[in-house]
């Protein structure tokens, strides 16, 4: 079992859906699955000897094969190091956030999640919490933000990675990961009910735009119910072709 899985089991509590978000979303947002795929290919295929030209003696062939194995082992060690580093990096912020005392967020749940920034990093965190999306519309992961903050404010401004991690944990709710879209409304000043209503409208728009697969299955009925009669009619027409045949 990996470091992050140990941490999730320890701090994830009984919420299996949230634990799944931590387990699958965090590591893959850092490219973990891509490196694991490369590692799998390296460990399943025999090492190829470097290309050799001319009349090669048996000793030269053996040396070439040994060189091939050496290079393959080097690549495997590198990939293992990368995946281990990703696992540790993902575990770090996820564990700290998931282990946060949720009682500390109680007043914010009852009032507002908006806070007054006291430094440029906190300003960036608030802007992110209010609009947690990349330019292509995808959700920007918390790990991505952490990396950007370290790059922008680390060496130049003198903030350590632990300083930045501490501010992220302090300013974001314990169950933030996987709920970025919903919390964007809370950080815009909405109540919990208002934020939930807006989230359903967003899901309804996804349904209307042919992106129903992006709507959580358990929320699909509520999202569909939030559509107007005209929208439901338009959606039905989209699904039907000439003569009533479904497209």
Q: Are 175 and 182 contacting, i.e. CB atoms less than 8 angstroms apart? A: no
Residue 186 within a domain? no
The answer to whether residue 209 sits within a structural domain is yes
- Average model confidence (pLDDT) across the chain: 73
Q: State whether residue 133 is helix, strand or coil.
A: strand
Output DSSP code: residue 219: G
CA 156/CA 167 separation, integer angstroms:
18
- Nearest 5°: the CA angle 110, 122, 82 is 110
Residues 68 and 122 in one domain: no
The pLDDT assigned to 32 comes to 46
Which tokens belong to 209?
């735009």
Whether residue 18 is found in the same domain as residue 91:
yes
Contact 108, 175 (CB under 8 A): no
Residue with tokens 């501490």: 166
**Same structural domain, 166 and 204:** no
Which residue range forms the structural domain that includes residue 128? 107-179
Residue 51 lies in a domain: yes
**Is 91 found in the same domain as 61?**
yes
CA 39 – CA 98 distance, rounded (Å)? 29
| Number of domain units in the chain | 3
Identify whether residues 10 and 33 lie together within a single domain.
yes
Residue 244 binned pLDDT confidence (cut-offs 50, 70, 90): very low
- Model confidence at 70, pLDDT cuts 50, 70, 90, reads low
Which tens digit of pLDDT belongs to each residue from 143-176? 889 989 988 998 778 899 889 999 999 999 988 8
Confidence grade of residue 84 (pLDDT, cut at 50, 70, 90) = very low
Query: Can you give the pLDDT at residue 91?
Result: 52
Q: Which residue has the tokens 């062939």?
A: 61
Are both 113 and 174 inside the same structural domain?
yes
Long-range contacts of 234-243 (CB under 8 A, 24+ apart): 234/208, 235/207, 235/208, 238/210
Calculated CA dihedral for residues 182, 33, 163, 1, nearest 10 degrees: 100
Alpha helices in the chain (DSSP H): 3-11, 16-20, 27-29, 32-44, 58-98, 106-110, 120-130, 142-153, 161-171, 180-186, 192-208, 220-225, 229-239
pLDDT tens, 111-137?
Answer: 678 999 999 999 999 999 999 999 988
* CB-CB contact of 226 with 200 (8 Å): yes
> Of 179, 202, 220, which marks where a domain is finished?
179
How does pLDDT run across 12-46, given as a tens digit for each residue? 555 555 555 555 555 554 454 554 555 566 556 55
């Amino acid at each position: 079992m990996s470091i992050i899985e140990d941490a999730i089991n320890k701090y994830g509590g009984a919420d299996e859906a949230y634990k799944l978000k931590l387990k699958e979303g965090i590591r893959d947002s850092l490219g973990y699955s891509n490196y694991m795929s490369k590692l799998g290919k390296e460990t399943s295929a025999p090492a190829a000897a470097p290309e050799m030209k001319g009349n090669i003696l048996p000793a030269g062939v053996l040396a070439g094969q040994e060189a091939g194995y050496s290079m393959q082992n080097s690549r495997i060690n590198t990939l293992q190091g990368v995946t281990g580093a990703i696992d540790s990096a993902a575990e770090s912020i996820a564990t700290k956030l998931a282990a946060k005392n949720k009682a500390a967020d109680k007043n914010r749940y009852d009032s507002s999640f908006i806070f007054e920034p006291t430094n440029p990093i906190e300003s960036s965190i608030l802007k992110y919490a209010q609009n947690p999306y990349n330019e292509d519309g995808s959700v920007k992961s918390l790990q991505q933000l952490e990396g950007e903050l370290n790059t922008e404010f680390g060496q130049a401004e003198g903030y350590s990675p632990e300083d930045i991690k501490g501010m992220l944990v302090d300013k974001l709710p314990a169950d933030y990961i996987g709920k970025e879209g919903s919390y964007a409304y809370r950080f815009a000043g909405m109540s919990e009910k208002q934020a939930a209503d807006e989230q359903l409208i967003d899901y309804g728009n996804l349904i209307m735009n042919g992106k129903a697969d992006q709507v959580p299955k358990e929320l699909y009925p509520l999202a569909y119910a939030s559509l107007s009669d005209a929208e439901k009619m338009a959606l039905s027409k989209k699904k039907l072709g000439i003569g009533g045949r479904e497209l």
